[in-house]
Every structure is written in structure tokens, then in C-alpha cells.
Amino acid sequence: MINYKVGNYKKFTQRSKYKIIVIGLGDFITFQYCLAFINYGYKVHYFNIEKEKTIKSHYYRKFVEGIELLKPDFIFTVNFTGFDLEGSLGAMLNLLGIRHFVYLTAHPLIERESLEKNIYQTTQIMVPDKSWIKYLENSFNHPPIYLPIALNEDIFFYKIGVEKNRDIVYHGYTNLDKLKSLEAINTLNNNINLLSAINKISDNFLGGMNNLETMISNYEKKYGELIFPSKKDQKQFIEGIFLKADLKYKIETLTKLLKLKVEIFGDKNWESVFKNYKYLRFKPSNHNSLISLYNSSEITISVKNIFLPTSFNQVILEAPFFNSLVIPTATEGLLEAFENCNIPIVESLDDIYDKTKFFLKNRDQRESILSNLKEEIFKNHRYINRVKSIDKFICENM
């Protein structure tokens, strides 16, 4: 764990004794807070609320069971208002003596004024802007506190036509020009793909497998007749599904040759493609699987295209938080958009290949490089100051 200088409470070394449950809607923001808490040294458990309609019934029971099982010291909720507007979650946590921190952005479906009014009518308190740290210092035994720390000048909201026209919150940018236009960002989907990078990597070790018939033959000799996840026409099969199957074959061969642990992320419908291969561990692309991956793999591979800066796949670009080598599926166009965000990014297929080859063959140097990279990125991580304030409160009051 990296040791950070965090003011006059830097000697506080008991963070690993405290459990924090982070609750969120499965978005990028929530995961970044998980990463920040983990890197400070806290034990983090992530509860993913993907559909608000489940909050009042099934998930509430699941959440209560989780609290009873994990016995957390703190709860940290991100853009999660279902329980809070009723006061039930806050009342329960208050009875259990669990400190509840809330990170609140402008909710996309509720006017902020209405949201504040409803919150004030419950057992929760929204901390006034610019004075919330003082509020924290004087309210350790107070009911749960809302931190409107997303309303700073470095945050802006930019509406795009996805997710049923809900507002998407972009964090960490101060200049809209950095993002150019939505149309330009959308073109990322059609640029560098993962298969080409894996082809270059695996060909170096497997002696080349560029002929389609040879690839099919080699695959079926080892694994049997190809069985497709779904019925597609021949053109789609050759261009898509078979390439996925071949990707699986190449990655597994590579892992056996080099004795590496490899995690593969993707949509859940990829699970059937990878499930029968003992050298590969497929993880659906959700934040729970990413949290469990922390410091556990040597290569992290995304089988999804990097599409929008705030999509799940940005996590893949920030994955040096993990001791992993990351091969993103698309990079062209991101360099300028992310130039001030301290996110390392490869610049070409050759760059992907060269870095991968080096990391695979130089394990000791890889560990050193990744360790330094992880520390450098975390120092500049845009969520650090927000978590630092909560960390300061915990350290000075526990």
C-alpha cells in the first residue's frame, strides 16, 4: 500500500481496521470512490444498485443482510436517493451507530431544489456548501450527513442522448472543448481493436496464425468442433464470432506458455465464450468484479470498445491502480481528450505490442514500473481530495 502524506493525521495507521460499504448505481463515479478508499488503506465492500425499482423491496433486504454480515464502520453512498428520501436507511444506520457519508450530485430525474426539500424532511442533513468540513468536525454523533461535494467548479454537466435521455455527469474536466464533439467521440468505437493487438502479441509466441483455415484447424484440434453462442450468417461469423473464439484460443495459449494470470472483462453474453477455459477467468464488466481484481492479475484485457470518457471502459484506462498491464480496445482520439487527466494510454498498435512484450519478458522491471505508475496516477487522481476530506474526519475522530 502506498503511504501518502495527508496532513497532520498522516501518522494514523489504523485504516485497514475499518470497513466501508460503498453503495452506488453501477456508474463510473462510484467505482472511482471505491478505488480511492482502497488506496488509502480501507477495506471496501461495494453494493451495486443498478435499478432503482429494486431499492424498496428486494435490495433493501439484501442490503440489511449485508450490513449485518459485514458489520461496516462507515457507509458511503453515491447518487443513491431511494432509501434516503424516505429516511429509512438513515434511521437504520443511526440506530446501528454507523457513520453515513453521502456524495450527492444533481440527480438527473429530480430537480435539485425538490431533492433538498425532501431530504430536509427526513432524518438526514444536507451539509451547507463550503462549510461541510466544519460540519463534519462537530457532528461525529450526529445522524447521517450529506456532502454536496460534487458541486464544485471542476464539475460540469453535459447532456447527451443516451440512457433514455438522462443527464450524464462528466467529472474532472473544466473545458468542454477538451471533449470536442459527441460525434468525434463516437468514432472511437471503430478504431483500434483488441484482436489486432492480441494477434501481434500471440503471433510472437505462436509462430503466426494469420490464415483463417489454419486458425480454425488449430482451434478445433485442441478444443473440438466450434460451437457458436448464437446463429449468425457466415459473413458475421467470420468477421465476428470466430474472431472472438480465436481470441480466446490465443490468450489461453499465451497464458499457459508464460504462466500468467489473466482476467478478461466483457458483457455478460461473453461468459459462455470463455467459461470452459481453466487458464482464463472471465469477469462481467461490473464494478464488483473490478474491485475483486485489485492486485490479483498480471494482465487485464477488456473485450469491449472504449466508447465515451465516462463509460465503464474508462476504468480500464485507469487500471494501473491494479498491478496489471492493460490493453484497451480503442485509443485513437482519446489522447487529446485525456491529455490533462493523468490517464496513461497507448498511442498505437505497435505501442501496445512493444509494451506488452516488454512487460511479459521483464517481470521484475514490470513490477517496478507498475508500482511507480500506480503511485504517480493516484497522486493526481481527481477523486483524491474528496476522499481525503472524509479520511481526515475518520482519522481525527476514531
Residues 29 and 72 in one domain: yes
Task: Kindly state the average pLDDT of the residues 272-285.
Answer: 54
Question: What's the pLDDT score for residue 372?
Answer: 56
Residues 51 and 65 in one domain: yes
Question: What's the pLDDT score for residue 316?
Answer: 34
Percentage with pLDDT > 70 across the chain? 8
Residues 110 and 234 in one domain: no
Examine the pLDDT at 120 and tell me if it is beyond 50.
no
Question: What's the pLDDT score for residue 227?
Answer: 44
Whether the Cβ atoms of residue 352 and residue 325 lie closer than 8 Å to each other: no
C-alpha cell at 83: 432509501
Residue 312 covered by a domain: yes
What domain count does the chain have? 2
Examine the pLDDT at 64 and tell me if it is beyond 50.
yes
Question: What's the pLDDT score for residue 23?
Answer: 73
pTM (2 decimals)?
0.38
Residue 38: which H helix or E strand, with range? helix 28-40
Residue 178 covered by a domain: no
Residues 325 and 209 in one domain: yes
Question: What's the pLDDT score for residue 282?
Answer: 58
Examine the pLDDT at 41 and tell me if it is beyond 60.
yes
Question: pLDDT band for position 297 (50/70/90)?
Answer: very low
Domain that holds residue 168: 7-172+382-397
- Distances in whole angstroms, Cα of residue 197 to Cα of each of 62, 77, 191: 41, 38, 12
Residues 231 and 146 in one domain: no
Residues 287 and 145 in one domain: no
Examine the pLDDT at 76 and tell me if it is beyond 70.
yes
Whether the Cβ atoms of residue 60 and residue 82 lie closer than 8 Å to each other: no
Residue 242 covered by a domain: yes
Residues 303 and 367 in one domain: yes
Examine the pLDDT at 347 and tell me if it is beyond 50.
no
Question: What's the pLDDT score for residue 14?
Answer: 73
Residues 50 and 98 in one domain: yes
